[in-house]
Structure 1
């Protein structure tokens, strides 16, 4: 008998062991199209089937995975499925629409969310994973089984791990050891940890109870959360804040409970922080407390409350207090409260000006800075004989409003920076030192007393309530206060305004016909343009000049071959402070008359003719123009200069005979402009055409060079010549202008050897130009252009820059 018992025990153990290999002990009958799961034993409706085959897609499906069976029965172990889930055919294949089953993995997942409804079917969507909840916070658990539960119906359980490491199926007053599931997601009844729950970190997982998944399928993901005490607390996100910025405090208490929050000990004489309107959880304002209102916590027992501050908020430390409301009475419970403190501090203002602090009137001054005290910056300026307390900077040169009437503040950007570009061209200020103030509030300039701005109307109840206006002198009247400077945060910067000047110089004082001259100089004060006038015999040029950002300018003037050989007078006009050329012309395209208006802007003060009958000539016209600009009715300045136009010429110094192989320099002088190109051709006098099969017996060179400024007044040019391998012959040197049609020539010999006693070489010989005789001629002086006339008479016509004083 004992032996039989032993055999029965061994058979039972063998059967149990066999059950661990074959996932299920009883096969489940399934038909075509059924959903089956890893770890199941199944029996398909074709008992002759011996394999489940997964095929590839496409017109010629290939076997991807084969699961062997017998008589239509298959064990779907994890090893044979091998992670290749999907459709398997047990009869036929995809091409002939065979019979199949779909193999899934028995997944199970878990979510834990705050509950919003007592039925446990409504959740807020707020996960508690990685977060904290109170002991009375209701939580609903969502168990996901997207394939198993809808197909088979099954059961699961929740396994909680306590902060001490214990395992349990209970959570608060609820037990979750057997949860029936017949849908893709099952939501449990709401449960709270309970007042006796252990505080600390908890975890929870879901696991199948139904076989065979209980023993083989993986558990769900793990949810981790902290359980904390339900004692009421109030915390501030920041301990301090710069005024004009908000601050937030957080109520932490019971779930979906009501709490009163207010500024404890606040004074009505202060400008206190105010609650942000229409916040989440807000129920109603409490008029018995400054900054007071009732809020309801969310399902997790939390509520953020925002207070706002403005530039005028009193800078001090505020105590914020929260009190629980008694249940069913909605009265504060003085025994259940908490407080926190937030310090409201003044911000700071900075200001700086680009550059070195010294600016020409008419220039743009860029002012920049920061402001952490308010959202606007009020700029005003003080200086010699300005309004005692300063003028609003944006109105300087216009209405010149006092600082207290400034209605155009500069907005502060989100990064607390600000910027203002002050264009001084019409500022109406004289030269001198000025101070610019940047204040965080509208101030009465630099005054030490407030200034009431009476708008003479009665404010509405809404304006009174929200403090957009302040009471003024006289019953029923309201307006804004411009506070004393010490009530605002401010900074200053000094600027020195000075008079712009203009300077000019020509690229040369004697210019060849057909060449060019450059007028170069500097015009300070950032003018938009300059005006150019050139006066000469039967010649008047009227043109504008563009000024670069650095104040430099350059104007190219082409001297046509039709310009007479004579002296020309140049005036360049600067628009000065108003950035306007005050000298007018009757027709900008074909001017015949120059004039300026009287201060009325209509009648003409003075004028003269520049072209046609009755015109002023040369220096007289230039002199009349400068006297016109000297008028006290206009602010323009000028500079003047002169240059002489002459026939072009080039001189060449004959080099004398040279021994073959020598290197020497060809040079000469010219009145062509600096940087003009000159072509130098040296050719053999015996040059003649030869047959193309023969080598040419001639030699020589062709070079270009630039004209350079000479030390004695005339410009110079030069080229280097190398006679190595040249033929013994007479050579012709021809020097020609490229931009200007002028040339000259001479000859020299290349010999085998120079005599022992060299013969004197011609020096300073002037070659006769071909085509045109280009002899330098003295230009007679023309009186009437101030100091230039005297210089011209001395034959040293150069440059003079005159400034108005």
Structure 2
């Protein structure tokens, strides 16, 4: 009779053989995410402002062209066209995809223009595929993905000094993100309105200097300072044209020059806060993609400080001598106690 120990020993070679066969079979199964035949990368931290151009690059070792489509909030579930995101891509139809030619060194490049697409801020995923296949037809092909964040540009503003002094210079500074070419300033007093544009520096900063001749024309009292950002289309959709403020995105009749919204100069023009409210409503119109920031300030008379110094008095306060009187009292008590 053989012992259990001897039975176990006789099974050892068989177990080793099974392990070898299992390992060999595992090596023959390709990994699920083996799409190293195609890659995609994006510059920076993969976070961009709407209106920017994002240059995607990658490699493609399989085909002469890379096919691209977009996934994101409220877009077609099978994939969206990059140049018209609310239209879907169609498998087998190369014309419905954005394409990038594969170079001799197997690299490719595609500049993605994010302005005037009609999409909002959010997280989006870009697909790079070796053949024209939508998301539901990717099985059997090679593809790569990358996620990006698209943000809404914004503008900030500060005024120095905090109150405008008639006849003295003032400075408006701030930042305008999203790489706009310029920003537009509006100064609105009770019976005076002023506008000008200035370029935005590479670090997103800007500066307006209001000279003394300009501030002298603004009436004393409340004043609105508005800085307008052109946003995705990089043009101001609300502008001054003659004596009127005009919306360039809305046309009157068969014209193409925009529509007058309200009079800002001359007889019958709006004044003060009515002008400010009308301008803000114009920029907030659904046809306009511009944004703005608003500062409410005051205009003071020439030479009057916003924070006048307290009136000096020739009569010293009694407490001014309190520490000295206390010291004399303590010394007197000490001398008296020694007697």
Q: What do the CA deviations read for 1:624-672 (whole angstroms, capped 9, x no partner)?
A: 111222223323222111333444549xxxxxxxxxxxxxxxxxxx77x
| Distance in 1 of aligned mates of 2:186 and 2:94 | 44
5+ residue gaps, structure 2, are 1-34, 317-339
| Preserved CA contact (<8 Å) 1:383 1:434 | yes
Counterparts in 2 of 1:140-289, with a 5 A limit? none
Q: Which residue of 2 aligns with 1:388?
A: 77
1:377 to 66, 73, 79: 66
| Distance in 2 of aligned mates of 1:516 and 1:370 | 56
Q: How far apart are residue 593 of structure 1 and its match?
A: 0.4
| Distance in 2 of aligned mates of 1:353 and 1:411 | 17
Structure 2 CA distance for partners of 1:503 and 1:436, relative to 1, 3 Å:
same
TM-score (norm 2): 0.68
Counterparts in 2 of 1:505-516, with a 5 A limit? 505-516=158-169
| Distance in 1 of aligned mates of 2:73 and 2:119 | 9
| Preserved CA contact (<8 Å) 2:127 2:146 | yes
| Distance in 2 of aligned mates of 1:390 and 1:574 | 32
Q: What do the CA deviations read for 1:375-413 (whole angstroms, capped 9, x no partner)?
A: 3221111123322321232x235x845154343521233
Q: Which residue of 2 aligns with 1:622?
A: 276
Query: When you count strand as a share of all residues, which structure comes out higher?
Result: 1
Q: Which residue of 2 aligns with 1:146?
A: none
1:592 and 2:240 matched: no
Structure 2 CA distance for partners of 1:605 and 1:564, relative to 1, 3 Å:
closer
Q: Which residue of 2 aligns with 1:518?
A: 171
Q: How far apart are residue 361 of structure 1 and its match?
A: 2.0
Q: Which residue of 1 aligns with 2:285?
A: 631
Q: What do the CA deviations read for 1:607-631 (whole angstroms, capped 9, x no partner)?
A: 1111110111222211211122222
User: SS in structure 1 opposite 2:157?
Assistant: strand
Q: Which residue of 1 aligns with 2:263?
A: 609
Q: Which residue of 1 aligns with 2:209?
A: 556
Structure 2 CA distance for partners of 1:510 and 1:598, relative to 1, 3 Å:
closer
Q: What do the CA deviations read for 1:512-549 (whole angstroms, capped 9, x no partner)?
A: 34432222222233333322211124422121232234
1:493 and 2:146 matched: yes
2:47 to 358, 361, 364: 358
CA RMSD of the aligned region, Å? Answer: 3.1
Q: What do the CA deviations read for 1:428-461 (whole angstroms, capped 9, x no partner)?
A: 21332221011223x221223xxxxxxxxxxxxx
Q: Which residue of 1 aligns with 2:227?
A: 572
Structure 2 CA distance for partners of 1:564 and 1:557, relative to 1, 3 Å:
closer
Structure 2 CA distance for partners of 1:761 and 1:418, relative to 1, 3 Å:
farther
5+ residue gaps, structure 1, are 1-345, 449-484, 651-669, 672-712, 716-759, 763-805
Structure 2 CA distance for partners of 1:597 and 1:562, relative to 1, 3 Å:
closer
| Distance in 2 of aligned mates of 1:639 and 1:761 | 49
| Distance in 2 of aligned mates of 1:520 and 1:558 | 14
Structure 2 CA distance for partners of 1:530 and 1:431, relative to 1, 3 Å:
same
User: SS in structure 2 opposite 1:372?
Assistant: coil
Structure 2 CA distance for partners of 1:573 and 1:447, relative to 1, 3 Å:
same
1:534 to 187, 194, 207: 187
Q: Which residue of 2 aligns with 1:367?
A: 56
1:409 and 2:99 matched: yes
| Distance in 1 of aligned mates of 2:249 and 2:303 | 49
Structure 2 CA distance for partners of 1:376 and 1:714, relative to 1, 3 Å:
farther
Q: More relative contact order in 1 or in 2 (CA 8 Å, sep 6+)?
A: 2
Structure 2 CA distance for partners of 1:550 and 1:488, relative to 1, 3 Å:
farther
Which of the pair has more CA radius of gyration? Answer: 1
1:502 and 2:192 matched: no
| Distance in 2 of aligned mates of 1:714 and 1:495 | 53
Counterparts in 2 of 1:62-77, with a 5 A limit? none
| Preserved CA contact (<8 Å) 1:509 1:642 | no
| Preserved CA contact (<8 Å) 2:60 2:102 | yes
Counterparts in 2 of 1:745-764, with a 5 A limit? none
Counterparts in 2 of 1:708-719, with a 5 A limit? none
Q: What do the CA deviations read for 1:72-96 (whole angstroms, capped 9, x no partner)?
A: xxxxxxxxxxxxxxxxxxxxxxxxx
